[in-house]
């Protein structure tokens, strides 16, 4: 784009870079994360909050080391920031694994002369949550699938009962 008044392109360097690294004693940004050293409201100490870019809430808040003067926090540095990013990513990964485990359950049952895998996949919807109950043979082929209440409790006995009733939706 040409600036007609000056006859040249506008200076691009005046725009802030969204990915720019910030390395301040109490604030570091980079690698998709912001580390902010904050006063700990619960006591006289300090805490560090790790916020993933684009998220409103911190993924991790933990205690932070006091400086030599025993009043102010120790400044953030490269090693601390990288350790905090690694830890915060691990917290998010574990949270995702826990959520997946809550929404996806399975059991194996022996029925009709074969071992079957029965899965329950909960679809969390604010207004109308539901789940899909599915049966698979040992080759991984889906034999049946029905929609059930999100509160359906999958167990070997409930799976066997469903199979014995010719895969009709449980009530």
Residue 16 clears pLDDT 50, i.e. is over it: no
**What value does the mean pLDDT take over residues 140-166?**
95
pLDDT at 20: 52
Distance CA 19, CA 30 (A): 7
pTM of the model: 0.65
pLDDT at 126: 86
**Which stretch of DSSP H or E encloses residue 124?**
none
Residue 10 clears pLDDT 60, i.e. is over it: no
Give the β-pairing of 142-149 and 27-30. Answer: unpaired
Structure tokens at 144: 């049946």
Please, what is the Cα angle at 143 between 139 and 149, to 5 degrees?
125
Alpha helices in 131-171 (DSSP H): 156-164
Question: pLDDT of 103-129, one tens digit each?
Answer: 999 999 998 789 999 999 999 888 999
- Weakest-pLDDT range from 3-17, 87-101, 147-161: 3-17
Question: pLDDT of 18-37, one tens digit each?
Answer: 445 888 999 999 989 999 99
31 burial type by CB count under 10 A (0-12 exposed, 13-18 middle, 19+ buried): middle
Work out the percent of the chain whose per-residue pLDDT is above 70: 88
């Amino acid at each position: 784009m040409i600036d007609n008044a000056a006859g040249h392109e506008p200076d691009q360097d005046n725009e802030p870079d969204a990915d720019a690294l910030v390395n301040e004693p109490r604030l570091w940004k980079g690698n998709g994360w912001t580390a902010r050293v904050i006063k700990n409201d619960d006591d006289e100490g300090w805490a560090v909050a790790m916020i993933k870019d684009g998220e409103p809430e911190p993924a991790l808040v933990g205690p932070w080391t006091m400086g030599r003067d025993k009043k102010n926090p120790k400044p953030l540095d490269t090693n601390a920031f990288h350790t905090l990013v690694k830890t915060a990513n691990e917290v998010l990964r574990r949270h995702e694994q826990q959520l997946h485990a809550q929404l996806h359950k399975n059991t194996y049952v022996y029925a009709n002369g074969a071992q079957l895998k029965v899965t329950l996949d909960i679809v969390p919807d604010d207004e109308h949550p539901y789940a899909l109950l599915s049966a698979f043979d040992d080759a991984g082929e889906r034999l049946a699938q029905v929609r059930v209440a999100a509160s359906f409790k999958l167990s070997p006995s409930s799976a066997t009962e469903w199979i014995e009733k010719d895969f009709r939706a449980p009530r």
